[in-house]
Structure 1
Amino acid sequence: MLKLNSIQTKYGSIYALKGIDLVVNQGEIVTIIGANGAGKSTTLNTISGLVRSISGSIEFNGVDITHMPTDKIVESGLIQVPEGREIFPNLTVMENLKLGAFLRKDKQGIKEDIEKVTTFFPRLAERFSQLGGTLSGGEQQMLAIARALMSKPKLLLMDEPSLGLAPIFVQDIFNIVQKINEQGTTVLLVEQNATLALSIAHRGYVMETGNIVMEDKACNLMDNESVKAAYLGF
């Protein structure tokens, strides 16, 4: 479904990605784990066109999207939930959700999908008229994911969904990611909470300073002694 071939990305003179290869197959949850500054978020931003690679190629469903405009990438079904949520704080929950569907013309389908996403996030249904900026951090993360789902993603990129959340919300978010995947959406997840990420993923990549240094089934990475020592805290 998604294939990165020798992707290099720079910020000024600094190489953030040093020729990475990565594959996501349809129906999977794939996670990228690594320390701060490893290049995880840059990988997602390069895939979605927010940052441009200087070499290599990105294929999505057999189409080269390396130089495709970001809005066309979104239109193709590749949607990112950004780090820090980035909801519209001065718009209501409902307005945020409708903006997620801005490329769609099917009014009835949009209405049905608003009902569908609120089955994942019942709290949002209670707050349709509330301004996004007045929600708690966990509720804002729920809104950011729900807004992304309104675009009907084929592949959902998620950047640090647990960042800054209370533990009670973190488990809720990861349970919902699993449900989204079970209902047919492929997920590429960047997450510093490596234990939780690997617990729901099918496969994982380990990044260090712009390089992929390990790739395996998530269960194997959980049992790997070097991964345990570096990222799992035991």
Structure 2
Amino acid sequence: MLKIEDIHVYYGNIHALKGVSLDIHQGEIVTLIGANGAGKSTLLKTISGLLKPKSGKIEYENQSIMGKPAQAIVKMGISHVPEGRRIFANMSVQENLELGAFLRKDKDEIRKDYEKVFQLFPRLQERWKQQAGTLSGGEQQMLAMGRALMARPKLLLLDEPSMGLAPLLVKTIFRIIQEINETGTTILLVEQNANMALSVADRAYVIETGKVVLSGTPEELNESDQIKHAYLGGQ
């Protein structure tokens, strides 16, 4: 579904991604694990068209998406839930969700998708007319994910969905991630909570200082002493 080959991305003179390659198959949950500043968010922004790589290849469903504007990439079926939620605080929950569907014209289908979002996140239906900025952190994360789903993505990019949430809410968010995946949406997940990320993933890539240093199934990564020590709290 998504094939990335030898991507190099710079912020000015800083070489942020140094030849990253990975692939994602339809129906998978693939997770990216790495420390802060390793390049995980940079990779998601590059896929979704917010950053332009200097070289390399990005193909989605056998089509190059290199250099395409972000809205064209959304239209092709890739939605991005950014780190820090980035909801529109002065708008209502309803208006935020409507913005998620702004490229769509199929009103009846949009209505059905509201229902799907409410099934996943009943709290959003309760808060329908409330200003988004007054929601709790967990509710804002739900809104950010719901807004992305309103674009009806085939591939969902999730950047740090558990950041700043209480442990109970983290479990809820990860259960919902699995539910979204079970309805047919492929997911690329960036997550600092490596244990939780590996518990839902089909495959994982470990990024350090802009390079993929390891990849494999969660079972393979769980057996790696290097990964246990660095990311899983093991000795």
TM-score range, shorter chain: over 0.9
Q: CA deviation at 1:224?
A: 1.6
Q: Equivalent residue for 2:51?
A: 51
Task: State how far apart, in whole Å, the 1-side matches of 2:223 and 2:145 are.
Answer: 30
TM-score (norm 1): 0.99
Which residue is equivalent to 2:84? 84
Alignment match, 1:157? 157
Report Cα offsets for 1:156-180 as digits up to 9, x if no partner: 0000001111111111100000000
SS at match of 2:153: coil
Q: Which residues in structure 2 correspond to 1:131-210 (within 5 Å)?
A: 131-210=131-210
Matched, 1:228 2:217: no
Task: State the 4+ residue runs in structure 1 displaced beyond 4 angstroms.
Answer: none
CA displacement at 1:114 relative to structure 2 = 0.3
- Between the aligned partners of 2:219 and 2:108, the Cα distance in structure 1 is 41
Work out the CA distance in 2 between the residues paired with 1:184 and 1:223.
29
Measure, in 1, the Cα distance between the counterparts of 2:86 and 2:49: 17
Count of paired positions: 234
Could you tell me how far 1:129 is from its partner in structure 2? 0.5
User: 1:53-73 CA deviation, whole Å, 9 max, x = no partner?
Assistant: 000010000100011111100
SS of aligned partner of 1:49: coil
Other-structure match for 1:9: 9
Structure 2 gap ranges (5+): none
Q: In the alignment, what sits opposite 1:42? A: 42
AA aligned to 1:74 is V
Q: CA deviation digits over 1:59-109, x for unaligned, max 9?
A: 000100011111100100011000000011111111111110001101111
Contact 1:199/1:219 (8 A) holds in 2: no
RMSD: 0.6
Residue aligned with 2:215, SS: strand
Quote how far apart the aligned CAs of 1:223 are.
Answer: 2.1
Give me the whole-angstrom Cα distance separating, in 2, the residues matched to 1:34 and 1:127. Answer: 35
Could you tell me the TM-score, scaled by structure 2's length? 0.98
Q: How many percent of aligned residue pairs carry the same amino acid?
A: 60
- Bigger Cα displacement from structure 2, 107-116 vs 180-189: 107-116
The aligned counterpart of 1:93 is 93
Distance 2:123 2:14 in 1: 43
Q: Which residue in the other structure is 2:211 paired with? A: 211
**1:29, distance to aligned residue in structure 2 (A):** 0.1
Distance in 2 between residues matched to 1:106 and 1:44, nearest whole Å: 28
**Corresponding letter in the other structure for 2:163:** L
> What's the secondary structure of 1:22's corresponding residue?
strand
Q: For 1:219 and 1:32, locate their aligned partners in 2 and report how far apart those are by CA, in whole Å.
A: 15
> How far does residue 123 in structure 1 lie from its aligned partner after superposition?
0.7
Aligned residue for 1:8, secondary structure, equals strand
Does 2:5 correspond to 1:20?
A: no
Task: Name the SS of the counterpart of 2:90 in structure 1.
Answer: coil
Q: 3-state SS of the aligned residue for 1:43?
A: helix
Structure 1 gap ranges (5+): none
